[in-house]
Structure 1
Amino acid sequence: MATPYQKALSAIDAAHAADPRVTTTTDGQQVPYELHYARKMTSYLEKVDPNASEVLRLAIRAQHLRRWEVPRDTYPMTRPGYFSWRTALKKRQAELGQQICLDSGLSASDAERIAALIRKENLKADTETQTLEDVACLVFLDDQFEEFEKNYDEEKIISILKKTWVKMSDRAHDLALQIDLSERAKGLVGRALAG
């Protein structure tokens, strides 16, 4: 019989599998994008904290829960609009994740803790929240950065890299420097770290 943790993980992945956007993984599989992203998050969690609690594992897996349903362009394409969009997403994803966890039989306190992690409460002061942030930054650098950087000029990208780096722990910095990036991406990271 499945545990509440296993039920929640399955329900979270079922939600991710509904993402209409598809990506091709390195082994050639076609996968719904958010399911791919969630699996990447889990794989980096194994590197950052292989002994992570079940609560953190579920928060990591649910971090982008049904994100595709609120596209970036539903908010003003400005800096304040971007921050409003991100804040609304964190709140929505936390609520969705919390409800899945409750429906799966997790305790109310565990479900609320998962929601607090997804909202990234007490970043820097809470080690599990910092771990979630580290994992998200590592997945961005490993899986999204090379496509993302094509849309902006170099100065903007270097600024984004600097802001990303500051959010990460020393352990995450070490892992980030091991990511196999293109020569161009390595150069951008090098410039960001030098400045």
Structure 2
Amino acid sequence: MADRLSRALALIDAANAADPKGEAMVYGQRMSAELARLFPAASGVLQVAARGQHVERWLLPRSDYPEGKEGYHAWRRDQGRRHADRVAGIMAEAGFGAGDCERVGVLLRKEGIKRDPEVQDLEDVICFVFLKWYFSPFAAERDAEQTLDIVQKTARKMSAAGRARVLAEFDLPEPLAGAFRDG
């Protein structure tokens, strides 16, 4: 398993090294680091899903979709499917079996969020990475109402344990902290 896992992670990193903006590799490494910190006993499949969560994301630009909520949701769904297919292919190349390749697709498409513990763990890691590295610049470009809306949506996607950990680890002002208390 360790050889397959190392190979899959290296293949994801190699794919992300082609990112013209140089962001994909950093994002994948941040996802792996947060997963290891939050869920040190994570399965190999979850480790691969975390690293590959945005594999080659630049290949399907948001600008190819209509503006607005419907366009955004269509882009996100298509990205999830594309990431699932690409990472499953990488896993097969690294020597993982068909069952593991199918499972990574479930995780990356976020099928069973709030019901499947590994899907939920992945979502919690995604939210932590967002809050830790991307929230401040994101919030700086939005007004207080938009920022609160995004924080509330983020909190709703998280597990109760994840929300509690956010409150313990981040010094969020009210009403942002309230979104994590209320879930």
1:144 aligns with 2:134: yes
Q: Tell me the equivalent position of 2:160.
A: 170
- Residue ranges of structure 2 left out of the alignment (5+ in a row): none
SS at match of 1:3: helix
1:154 Cα deviation after fit: 1.3
The structure whose residues are more often helix, as a share, is: 2
1:135 aligns with 2:125: yes
Q: Is the 8 A contact 1:8 1:58 kept in 2?
A: yes
1:16 aligns with 2:16: yes
Moved more, 166-175 or 101-110: 166-175
* Structure 2 CA distance for aligned equivalents of residues 106 and 116 of structure 1: 15
SS at match of 1:106: coil
Moved more, 172-181 or 50-59: 172-181
Q: Is the 8 A contact 1:15 1:66 kept in 2?
A: yes
Q: Percent identity?
A: 38
* Structure 1 CA distance for aligned equivalents of residues 128 and 61 of structure 2: 22
1:45 Cα deviation after fit: 0.8
1:117 aligns with 2:107: yes
Cα RMSD, aligned residues only: 1.8
1:177 Cα deviation after fit: 2.5
Letter in 2 for 1:149: A
Q: Is the 8 A contact 1:70 1:89 kept in 2?
A: yes
1:3 Cα deviation after fit: 1.8
Q: Tell me the equivalent position of 1:28.
A: none
1:14 Cα deviation after fit: 0.8
Question: Residues 137, 193 of structure 1: CA spacing in aligned structure 2 closer, same or farther, 3 A cutoff?
Answer: closer
Q: Is the 8 A contact 1:48 1:172 kept in 2?
A: no
1:37 aligns with 2:27: yes
* Equivalent residue for 1:99, pick from 79, 86, 89: 89
Q: Deviations over 1:130-164 (max 9, x none)?
A: 00000001101111111111232211110111111
Question: Residues 79, 6 of structure 1: CA spacing in aligned structure 2 closer, same or farther, 3 A cutoff?
Answer: same
Q: Is the 8 A contact 2:113 2:120 kept in 1?
A: yes
1:12 Cα deviation after fit: 0.6
Q: Tell me the equivalent position of 1:26.
A: none
Q: Tell me the equivalent position of 2:176.
A: 189
TM-score normalised by structure 1 residue count: 0.86
Aligned length: 181
1:34 Cα deviation after fit: 1.0
Q: Is the 8 A contact 2:110 2:119 kept in 1?
A: yes
